[in-house]
């Protein structure tokens, strides 16, 4: 274990002892220790305006806590990624209030859009504050891609009499009047051109709001063109995709691509498995997760330590009042295992 890695773990250990973090710290461990770095991932704050300057207090506090804890991390993350859904109903007042809380973060923040930031005015106010809706950048040898995965059919977008009505429908977890998310052709063409410039051995880290895999359509834990995006990522050796939106821990591997969901700072959603009609419609995840304690207000919120350099993730989830869950790469089996709970290994998926 390098000194650098030990320090990261010590820093996390100190934090984990005192609290449960609604965020992820991700380490990118390079061959040379001085090239290694960490970044933090914070998502889904759902800042909600009640009236005027009054906002839902619990959502404010979840985000304030994540900001405070990122600022305490040792070593300091090189940057923070915000995974979308700053706001609940995409109101400028909600986005402003969320950004004001986030402005206390010391590291630079890279943002992606969530549907709750978008469907009132189709991202106009968000973009005015935060810039492009998709882009890429390089950091110490890793290629980062930020996608807008929450677009949908134009016909659906235009069928509502107001943005407020449209946002209200898309804000429901299981509203049958909603529409599936997609990255879309224009952005996929951009991604293909962007990735064409990148060496196949370069670690790729992709951020999307909705999962770039198909988890559960009824709840929009879903991206319609997930397979097309996966096909663009498939030629690379080390690909990790991080997403928010599902407000729960999910880990999956499809081919060489690892998928990691992060908890929300606002509230946890139940696992679709717990929904009576769901099981027959769910894919088999590489590592299934159970809820820690659904009656605990911070159920399944935790921190994740993820080493993305090898392309093989090692994750640790801290669950309130429950045993820690550890998911790590198993060389013999060629896919990650839950060391304590996964009796029968599940093969890596070829498709969802
Ligand atoms: Fe969300
Ligand atoms: Fe979302």
Give the confidence band of 291 by pLDDT, cuts at 50, 70, 90: low
CA of 115 to the centre of ligand 1 (A): 8
**265 contacts 298 by C-beta, under 8 angstroms:** no
SS3 content of the chain, % helix, strand, coil (to 5): 30, 20, 50
Residue 347 has what pLDDT?
55
Q: What is the pLDDT of residue 248?
A: 81
pLDDT in tens, 24-50: 667 666 666 666 788 888 999 999 999
339-352 pLDDT, tens per residue?
766 655 555 555 43
Residue 146 Cα, ligand 1 centroid: separation in angstroms?
A: 17
pTM of the model: 0.84
Spatial distance between the Cα atoms of 113 and 93, rounded to a whole number of angstroms: 16
Ligand 2 centroid from CA 228, angstroms = 21
- 255 by Cβ neighbours in 10 Å (0-12 / 13-18 / 19+) ranks as middle
31 CA → ligand 1 middle, Å: 36
pLDDT at 256 over 80: yes
Q: What is the DSSP letter of 215?
A: S
CA distances from 58 to 21, 68, 113, 224, 329 (A): 15, 15, 22, 32, 36
Are 274 and 282 in contact by the 8 Å Cβ rule? The answer is no
Q: Where on the phi/psi map is residue 217: left (φ > 0), alpha (ψ -120 to 50), or beta?
A: alpha
Task: Please give the DSSP secondary-structure letter assigned to residue 163.
Answer: H
Closest ligand to the CA of 86:
1
Cα(185) to centroid of ligand 2, in Å?
21
Where does the pLDDT of residue 174 fall: very low under 50, low under 70, confident under 90, or very high at 90 and above? confident
Q: Which residues crowd ion ligand 2, with CB under 5 Å?
A: 85, 114-115, 245
């Amino acid at each position: 274990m390098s000194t650098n890695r030990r320090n990261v773990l010590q820093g996390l250990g100190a934090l984990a002892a005192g609290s449960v973090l609604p965020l992820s710290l991700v380490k990118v461990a390079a061959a040379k220790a001085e090239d290694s770095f960490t970044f933090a991932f914070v998502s889904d704050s759902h800042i909600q305006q009640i009236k005027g300057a009054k906002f839902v207090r619990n959502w404010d506090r979840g985000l304030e806590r994540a900001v405070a804890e990122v600022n305490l991390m040792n070593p300091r993350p090189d940057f923070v990624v915000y995974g979308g859904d700053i706001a609940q109903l995409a109101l400028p007042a909600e986005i402003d209030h969320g950004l004001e809380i986030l402005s206390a973060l010391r590291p630079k923040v890279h943002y992606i859009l969530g549907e709750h930031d978008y469907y009132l005015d189709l991202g106009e106010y968000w973009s005015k504050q935060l810039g492009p809706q998709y882009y890429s950048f390089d950091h110490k040898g890793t290629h980062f891609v930020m996608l807008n995965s929450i677009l949908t059919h134009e016909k659906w977008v235009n069928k509502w009499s107001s943005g407020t009505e449209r946002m209200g429908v898309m804000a429901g977890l299981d509203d049958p009047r909603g529409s599936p998310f997609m990255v879309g052709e224009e952005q996929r063409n951009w991604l293909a051109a962007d990735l064409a410039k990148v060496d196949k051995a370069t670690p790729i880290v992709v951020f999307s709001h909705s999962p770039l895999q198909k988890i559960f359509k009824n709840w929009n834990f879903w991206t319609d063109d997930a397979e097309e995006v996966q096909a663009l990522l498939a030629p690379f050796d080390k690909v990790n995709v991080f997403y928010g939106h599902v407000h729960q821990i999910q880990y999956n591997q499809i081919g060489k691509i690892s998928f990691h969901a992060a908890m929300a700072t606002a509230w946890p959603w139940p696992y679709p498995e717990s929904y009576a009609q769901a099981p027959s419609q769910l894919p088999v995840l590489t590592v299934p997760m159970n809820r820690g304690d659904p009656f605990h207000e911070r159920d399944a919120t935790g921190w994740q330590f993820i080493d993305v350099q090898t392309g093989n993730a090692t994750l640790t989830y801290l669950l309130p009042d429950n045993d820690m869950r550890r998911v790590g790469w198993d060389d013999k089996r060629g896919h990650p295992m839950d060391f304590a709970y996964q009796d029968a290994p599940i093969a890596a998926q070829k498709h969802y």
